[in-house]
Amino acid sequence: MEKAKTDKYPRIILDPVHGFIELSPLQDELLAQPELQRMRWVKQLGLIDLIFPGAHHSRIEHCLGSSFVATKIAEHLKLPEKERELVQAAGILHDIGHTPFSHVLEPVLPKDSMETTRDMIEGRTEIPLPNAGHIPEILKRHGINPKDVSDLICHAYKGKKYLQQIIFSEIDCDQIDYLARDSYYTGSTHGQIHVQRLLSIMRLVDNEICFVEKGLTEIEEFLVGREHMYTSIYLHHTGNAAAKMLLRAFESLKDKIPNFLYMTDAEVIASLLNGTKYTRDIMQRILYRRLFKRAFEISSRKFTKADIELVKKASKIGEKKLEAELTKKAGIPEGYLFVHLPANALSLSEPRMKNFNIKFVRKDNSSINVTEISTLVQALANRVTPKELFAVYTPLEYREKAASSARAFFA
C-alpha cells in the first residue's frame, strides 16, 4: 500500500467554503485512498448543474469539509485527541458508499448506502478499485476501531452520545458542510449559514451536545435554510425529471453493468451511451438538456383532501406499475413516461429532515427542546417540503397524451 506523503510540514488545502484546511496525518492518509479518490469524480448534487450551472463540485470536497467541521466541533468542545481522530475519520469516510451521481442511483442499491459504507470501512467486501481495501488497516494503525467509525456513520454508535451527534444528528458536520457548500456552488442564499457562529453556541452537557439559548436565531436560520434548500434546489422539478430519466435508463441496463457502485459519473455516462438504443437516447437527452417535461402534477402549495387520497393511491400502486399503466393508456413508447413522488426521494436522501430533537441549555442549566421555544420550528415541522406531491414527466411531444392519461386515471 502506498502511504500518503509525509513532509516536515502538514499538508494544507485551500477550500472555497472553509478556507485553509490543515490535514492531520490520519486525514491525509485516508484522503489518498482509492475509495475516497473515486469521490473526486462523483458530483455532489448529481444532475442539479442542469439547473444551477455552478454546481459542479464533487463529493470528495464535501467529505473533506465534513471532516474539517467535525474537527472544529471536537476542538470547540475540547474533546481528547483520540475522540477528535475518531470523528475526523467518520467525517471524511461517511460518503464513500455513494453511487455515481450521488443520490440519483440509490434506489438501485441492494441495500442502504450507509451499510455499503460500513462494509468498505470494516473490510467486509472486495473493492474492484486499484490498490483499494486498506482503510481498515489505516484506522487500526492510528488506534481507531473501524467498527466505531462505521457505527457513527450508520447512526448505531453505542458510545458517548456527543460523538454520534457530531457525525449524524439533527445538526451535524455533514449537514453543516453540505448546506454551506451547496449554497456556495449553486449561488443560492438559502444555505448560507454562519458555520463558526453555529459551532460557538454548542455546549457539552451530560455527554450531550446542546446549544445556548441565546443562539436560537442561528438554529432557526439553519433549519429554515435547510428547508428552503430542499424545496428550491435539491427537489427542483427539473432536477427531479433529469434524475428520473437517468435512473430509469440505468435500471434497464444495470444487470449488464457489474460493480456499478464503484464507478464514476463518467463511467456510467459511457455505459449508457454504449448500451441500448433506449439508454443512448435518454443519456443524450440529459447531456444536451432535452429533458422530459411535467405533464401532470399535484402541488403541495394548493391541494385538497381528494388530492391527498390520489397521492396515497399512487404510492400504494407504486411508481413503476403506475408508469406502465399510464404509458399504456396514453399510447406512449415504453420508457418515455415517468412518475415521481418527491416524498420518497426526500426520505431516502435526508432522513433527518423533520427531526427536531435539538436541546437548548438555559442560564439555570435546565434544558428545553427547540420546538418548545420556537414557533418557527413548529411551523417547519408541519410544512410540506417538496413543491409537488406527485408529478408525471414525459417528452414534450407526448405531453398532452400523458396529461390526458393521468387525468383519466385519477378521475
Q: Is 297 left (phi over 0), alpha (psi -120 to 50) or beta?
A: beta
93-127 pLDDT per residue, tens: 999 999 999 899 999 988 888 999 999 999 999 99
CA 110 to chain centre: 18
* Calpha distance 219→24 (Å, rounded): 30
CA 20 to chain centre: 24
pLDDT tier for residue 355 given thresholds of 50, 70 and 90: confident
Nearest to 89 by CA among 152, 21, 15, 162: 152
**Residue 315 pLDDT:** 87
Q: Exposed (0-12), middle (13-18) or buried (19+): which is 203, by Cβ within 10 Å?
A: middle
**Residue 305 pLDDT:** 82
Total structural domains in the chain? 1
Q: Which domain holds residue 225?
A: 12-235
CA 70 to chain centre: 17
Nearest to 51 by CA among 223, 221, 291, 285: 291
Averaged pLDDT, 59-65: 98
Q: Phi and psi dihedrals of 204, rounded to 5?
A: -105, 115
Say yes or no to pLDDT of 164 above 80: yes
Averaged pLDDT, 231-250: 95
Whether 63 and 36 have beta carbons less than 8 Å apart is answered as yes
Averaged pLDDT, 395-400: 97
CA 184 to chain centre: 16
* CATH code at position 146: 1.10.3210.10
Nearest to 60 by CA among 202, 178, 168: 178
Say yes or no to pLDDT of 4 above 60: no
Say yes or no to pLDDT of 1 above 70: no
* Calpha distance 356→224 (Å, rounded): 12
**Residue 353 pLDDT:** 76
Q: What pTM value is reported for the model?
A: 0.93
Q: Which cell numbers hold the place of 375?
A: 414557533
* Calpha distance 289→295 (Å, rounded): 17
Averaged pLDDT, 80-91: 98
Give the containing element (helix H, strand E) for 338: strand 338-340
* Calpha distance 67→20 (Å, rounded): 13
Whether 58 and 44 have beta carbons less than 8 Å apart is answered as yes
In a domain, 110, yes or no: yes
**Residue 349 pLDDT:** 55
Helix segments in 294-398, DSSP class H: 305-317, 319-330, 342-349, 370-373, 375-382
In a domain, 193, yes or no: yes
What DSSP assignment string belongs to 358-382?
A: -EEE-TTS-EEEHHHH-HHHHHHHH
Give the containing element (helix H, strand E) for 293: strand 293-299
In a domain, 168, yes or no: yes
Q: Which cell numbers hold the place of 128?
A: 474492484
**Residue 375 pLDDT:** 95
Averaged pLDDT, 336-361: 79
In a domain, 406, yes or no: no
What DSSP assignment string belongs to 87-146?
A: HHHHHHHTTTTPBTTBGGGGGGSSS-HHHHHHHHHTT-S---STT---HHHHHHHTT--H
* Calpha distance 58→152 (Å, rounded): 23
The total of other beta-carbon atoms located within 10 Å of residue 406's CB is 26
Q: Which cell numbers hold the place of 45?
A: 448534487
Contacts of 51 (CB under 8 A, 6+ apart): 236, 238, 239
| 2 or 144: which leads in pLDDT | 144
In a domain, 82, yes or no: yes
Contacts of 200 (CB under 8 A, 6+ apart): 76, 215
Nearest to 193 by CA among 162, 166, 224, 151: 224
| 340 or 4: which leads in pLDDT | 340
Whether 68 and 98 have beta carbons less than 8 Å apart is answered as no
173-187 pLDDT per residue, tens: 999 999 999 999 999
